[in-house]
Amino acid sequence: MNTLTEKSTILFIPGMACTSQIWDALELLPHYFNCVYLDWPEHSSTFENLDDCAKWVTEMVKEHDATIVVGHSLGGLGILKAMEKNLIQPEKAIIIESFLNVPNEFFKKFVGPYASDELEKNLHEMFNTNRNHFSEKLRLFLREKISSKCIDIKKIENAFFLYGMRGEEDSDKVLNLLPFLQDLNDSNSIGLLPYSGHFPMIEEPEEFEEAINEFLD
C-alpha cells in the first residue's frame, strides 16, 4: 500500500436507496485508511438534481477532510458533479456502477450470476425501503433523462471507474455499453469485475478491494 496515502481519510457514499451497510464486507481498506461510511441525510428527500447531490458531497468531503472519495451509483454521480464544478479536488476518486446514460437493460441486472437468492432479496428490500427518501423528480431523472451532457467527463481527473460484468465474458461488449467512458482522459482508469452486478463490494469483496488497492497504490 502506498505510504503516502496510508491513514488518509476515505469517504464512502452509497447509492440511492442504499445504506452504509453495503460496505460491511470490506476488510483490507479499513486496515490502511481512516474509513468514513456515510448514509444519505434526511434532507436528501429535497434533492432534485445532481447539483443538490454535489453540494452535500462537497460539505461531507470538507467536514471529514477526505482525500479519497468512493461513490456508488448516485453517490458516484454526486462526486463526479462536485469534481466537474471544481467544488472538490480529491487525490483519488473511485466511482462504482455510476451511469451517465440511461442504463442499458444489461446493467439493470441487480446482481451477478452467483449471488444468492437471499442476497438479492435483501438488496431489493433495502432499495424498496429507502427509495421514497428521494424525490420523484430525481428518481425520474436517473431512470429516464440522465445523459453524458449532465457532467463533462473530460474535466474529471484521477478517477477509477468500476463496473460489474454480470457474468458476461466479453469485456469489450460491456465497455461498449458505457460510451461516456470514451471521453475520459489518461489520468483515469476503468475496471471490470467479472461476476458482480450492481454491488461488487458485496458480491466480490476481495476482488473489489484488490482493484481499488491497485488503483490507490
Which of the pair, 4 or 160, is modelled with greater confidence?
160
Per DSSP, what are the bridge partners of residue 68? 10, 92
Q: Is residue 4 part of a domain?
A: no
Read off the pLDDT of residues 5-54 as tens digits, 9 standing for 90 and up: 458 999 999 999 999 999 999 999 999 999 999 999 999 999 999 999 99
What is the pLDDT, as a whole number, of residue 1? 44
Read off the pLDDT of residues 69-95 as tens digits, 9 standing for 90 and up: 999 999 999 999 999 999 999 999 999
92 phi and psi, to 5 degrees? Answer: -145, 145
Q: Is residue 203 part of a domain?
A: yes
What is the pLDDT, as a whole number, of residue 217? 85
Q: Is residue 210 part of a domain?
A: yes
Q: Is residue 3 part of a domain?
A: no
Q: Is residue 178 part of a domain?
A: yes
Q: What percent of the chain has pLDDT over 90?
A: 94
Q: What percent of the chain has pLDDT over 70?
A: 97
- Domain boundaries, position 124: 9-216
Mean pLDDT, the chain, rounded, equals: 95
Write down the pTM of the prediction.
Answer: 0.96
Task: Report how many domains make up the chain.
Answer: 1
What is the pLDDT, as a whole number, of residue 7? 82
Q: Are 138 and 47 in contact, with CB atoms under 8 Å apart?
A: yes
The CATH number assigned to the domain holding 51 equals: 3.40.50.1820
Read off the pLDDT of residues 177-200 as tens digits, 9 standing for 90 and up: 999 999 999 999 999 999 999 999
- pLDDT(173) > 80: yes
- pLDDT(4) > 70: no
- What is the 3-state secondary structure of the chain? CCCCCCCCEEEEECCCCCCHHHHCCCCHHHHHCEEEECCCCHHHHHCCCHHHHHHHHHHHHHHHCCCEEEEECHHHHHHHHHHHCCCCCCCEEEEECCCCCCCCHHHHCCCCCCCCHHHHHHHHHHHHHHHHHCCHHHHHHHHHHCCHHHCCHHHCCCEEEEEECCCCCCHHHHHCCCHHHHHCCCCCEEEEECCCCCCHHHHCHHHHHHHHHHHHC
